[in-house]
Structure 1
Amino acid sequence: MSPRAGSTGPHTLAFVESPVQLLNVLEWAHSPTPGALAPGAGLTLVVLSPNDPMTRGQLRRMAELARDEGHEVRWEEARGGTVAPFRTIVGLTPLLRRARRVVMGDPFSRYVQLLLTITSAEDLVVVDDGTATMEFVAQLARGERLVRWHRKGGRPGARDVLFAPVSSAARRRLTPSAGRRVEVFSSMPVRETPDGVTVTANDFAWTRSRFGPPRITGGADLVGTSLVETGVVDGDRYLEAVRGLARAHGATRYFAHRRESTEKLHRLAVETGLEIVRPDLPLELIARRGPIGRTVLSFPSTVVHTLPLALAGTGVRVAVCDIDPRWLTDNASPRAQGFLSGVTGSARDVHRLAAVTAAPGAPA
Structure 2
Amino acid sequence: MGTDDVLAWVESPLQLLGAAEWAAAHGTSVPVAGRLTPQISETADELVARGARFSDLEPYLGIPWTLLARHRHWLVGDGFSGQFRLAASVLRPRRITFLDDGALALSYADTLLGRRPYARPSVVERGLTTIAAPFAAEVVRRRAAARRAGMFTAFDLGADRLDALSDRGFGVRRHDFAWTRATAPAAPELGRRIVLGSARPVDGRMPLADYLTWVTDAAAEGAVYLPHRRETSEQLDAVAVVAGIRIRETRLPVELVLAGAREPLEIHTLPSSTSTTIPLVLAGTGSRLHTSARRGATRTVTA
Give the deviation of 1:275 after TM superposition: 0.8
Measured in 1, the distance between the counterparts of 2:88 and 2:44 equals: 25
Q: Tell me the secondary structure at the aligned position of residue 285 of structure 2.
A: coil
Q: Tell me the secondary structure at the aligned position of residue 210 of structure 2.
A: helix
Q: Tell me the secondary structure at the aligned position of residue 260 of structure 1.
A: coil
Matching of residue 314 in structure 1 with residue 285 in structure 2: yes
**Structure 2 counterpart of 1:29, from 23, 33, 39:** 23
- Residue 186 of structure 1: aligned partner: 153
Give the deviation of 1:127 after TM superposition: 0.7
Measured in 2, the distance between the counterparts of 1:232 and 1:216 equals: 32
Matching of residue 114 in structure 1 with residue 114 in structure 2: no
Measured in 2, the distance between the counterparts of 1:115 and 1:252 equals: 44
Give the deviation of 1:268 after TM superposition: 0.8
Matching of residue 258 in structure 1 with residue 229 in structure 2: yes
Give the deviation of 1:70 after TM superposition: 4.5
Give the deviation of 1:282 after TM superposition: 1.0
Q: What one-letter code is carried by the residue in structure 2 that aligns with 1:252?
A: A
Measured in 2, the distance between the counterparts of 1:139 and 1:276 equals: 38
Measured in 2, the distance between the counterparts of 1:173 and 1:60 equals: 30
- Structure 1 residues 237, 9: closer, same or farther in 2, change over 3 A? closer
Give the deviation of 1:162 after TM superposition: 3.6
CA RMSD of aligned residues (A): 2.9
Give the deviation of 1:292 after TM superposition: 7.2
Moved more, 127-136 or 212-221: 212-221
Measured in 1, the distance between the counterparts of 2:112 and 2:53 equals: 32
- Structure 1 residues 45, 73: closer, same or farther in 2, change over 3 A? same
- Residue 165 of structure 1: aligned partner: 131
Give the deviation of 1:180 after TM superposition: 5.2
Normalization by structure 1: what TM-score? 0.72
- Residue 260 of structure 2: aligned partner: 289
Q: Tell me the secondary structure at the aligned position of residue 24 of structure 1.
A: helix
- Equivalent pairs counted in the alignment come to 295
- Structure 1 residues 164, 292: closer, same or farther in 2, change over 3 A? farther
Matching of residue 141 in structure 1 with residue 113 in structure 2: yes
Structure 2 portions without partners, runs of 5+: none
Measured in 2, the distance between the counterparts of 1:109 and 1:132 equals: 12
Structure 1 portions without partners, runs of 5+: 1-6, 33-38, 79-84, 326-340, 352-364
- For the 8 Å contact 1:97–1:120, the answer to whether it is kept is no
- Residue 32 of structure 2: aligned partner: 45
Give the deviation of 1:269 after TM superposition: 1.0
Normalization by structure 2: what TM-score? 0.86
- Structure 1 residues 127, 42: closer, same or farther in 2, change over 3 A? same
- For the 8 Å contact 1:318–1:350, the answer to whether it is kept is yes
**Structure 1 counterpart of 2:76, from 79, 100, 104:** 104
Q: Tell me the secondary structure at the aligned position of residue 240 of structure 1.
A: helix
Measured in 2, the distance between the counterparts of 1:188 and 1:294 equals: 22
